[in-house]
Structure 1
Amino acid sequence: MEIVLASASPRRRELLSLITEHFTVCPADADETLRDAPLGEEVTRLSRLKAEAVQAQHPNAVCIGSDTMVTIDGLRLGKPKDADEAASMLRRLRGRTHEVLTGLAVLTPDGGAHTLHTCTRVTFRDFTEDELAAYLATGEPLDKAGAYGIQGHGALLIKGIEGDYYSVMGLPVAPLYTILRDIHAV
């Protein structure tokens, strides 16, 4: 069975390759405008939209969509537009716990849909301004939701996590494997 990942993310590609090497990548062209709904529902909805956009091009494939959102104090932290916004986000997260929600949608050629979302609590340590400047200098924060990558230099800022590490990276690996196994795609 053909598997298509609806994402341009190198991290999601890397994570899916833990399950199978047999998949193709097709970035999704989907409207990611957020609605006023519970965040878990929103990341699941956006994941499904991405999978549906790709399934329109690959109707005989299993299509996988995923979306990740960082939230603290009721605010959604997306990808920062510049280094100043990244610094502001990281200062807000410093010394505190926030949530990372990741949605997952797996659509099958027969019209089946398997969706879920995970919620992982991430606690940052109280890092210094010099450490913040050094992290910003890596350029890593600019293309990550919440302005950090747990799998990269951002790991130096983290005190602990409660939940699924891979969901923070952008793809809940174990739940995805279970779905793909159960539908006989792997």
Structure 2
Amino acid sequence: MRFVLASASPARLSVLRSAGIEPLVQVSGVDEDAVAAALPDPSPAELVTALAQAKAEAVVADIAAAEPDAVIVGCDSMLLMADGEIVGKPGTREAAAKRWAHNAGNDGQLLTGHAVVRLRDGKISAHTKGHLSTTVRFGTPTEAELDAYLATDEPLHVAGGFTLEGFGGWFIEGVDGDPSSVLGISLPLTRKLLAEIGVSVVTLWNTPITK
């Protein structure tokens, strides 16, 4: 059985590799704005879960032909900021700076949605989805520190405008909840969802299990 990650995120790939899984990466190319626009007034949790589901389902046709026995995992993350706004990737330094101005010294909720699709003989045999919320406690970088961080362009391309494992980690005071979810893919939630469709995560590890 092949584990397929429907994401281009290097952080998600790194988490899975560190946890014993070498996934096949298949980028979904989903139009996230279109998916969001089609939802009738979704809650933040419903939004990230719907986006994750859209990403997983978008690669089914391509994967079914090449890997008929597989599990496909789609993920999406957004930050519920201290002022109540739900945001994804800033895209520009100006947007990232504004987000840090709101979040510095406050707590935010990093919402991660996951969806899992099980393929047997090239056909969908099961699917499930879920979400997780993790509290992120933001520090207060100096103006010079924030300017230097923004100049790396790292915060432009990640949900909420920060990372835990990169340059942004210097400015995160703590995490209450699952740290792997802040990196983009929650290992506990993924294990739970896999179990719901009859797959034990240990069968996907690339390290042989000795008895």
For the superposition of Structure 1 and Structure 2, which TM-score range results when normalised by the shorter chain?
over 0.9
Q: Partner of 1:77 in structure 2?
A: 87
Match of 1:167 in 2: 181
Measured after TM superposition, the shift of residue 98 of structure 1 is 0.7
Give 3-state SS (helix, strand or coil) of 2:32's partner: coil
Between the aligned partners of 1:47 and 1:178, the Cα distance in structure 2 is 16
Q: Deviations over 1:80-106 (max 9, x none)?
A: 221111111111110111110001111
RMSD: 1.6
Q: Which residue of 2 aligns with 1:24?
A: 24
Give the whole-Å Cα distance in 2 for the aligned partners of 1:21 and 1:2. Answer: 10
- Deviation of 1:29 after TM superposition, in Å, equals 2.1
5+ residue gaps, structure 2, are 205-211
CA displacement 1:55-110 (0-9 Å, x = unmatched): 12112221110000011122122212211111111111101111100011111014
Instruction: Kindly state the Cα deviation for residue 3 of structure 1 after the two structures are TM-superposed.
Output: 1.7
SS in structure 2 of the partner of residue 27 of structure 1: coil
CA deviations over 1:138-177 (Å, ceiling 9, x no partner): 2211111111111111111111111111111110012213
Gaps of 5+ in 1: none
TM-score, length-scaled by structure 1: 0.92
1:7 aligned partner: 7
User: Which residue in the other structure is 2:153 paired with?
Assistant: 139
Equivalent residue for 1:128, pick from 137, 142, 150: 142
Q: Which residue of 2 aligns with 1:104?
A: 114
Q: CA deviation at 1:178?
A: 4.2
Quote the residue 1:151 is aligned against.
165
Q: Is the 8 A contact 1:19 1:177 kept in 2?
A: no
SS of the residue aligned with 2:168? Answer: helix
Q: Give the TM-score normalised by the residue count of structure 2.
A: 0.82
Letter in 1 for 2:11: R
Contact 2:132 2:189 in 1 (8 A): no
Is 1:115 aligned with 2:120?
Answer: no
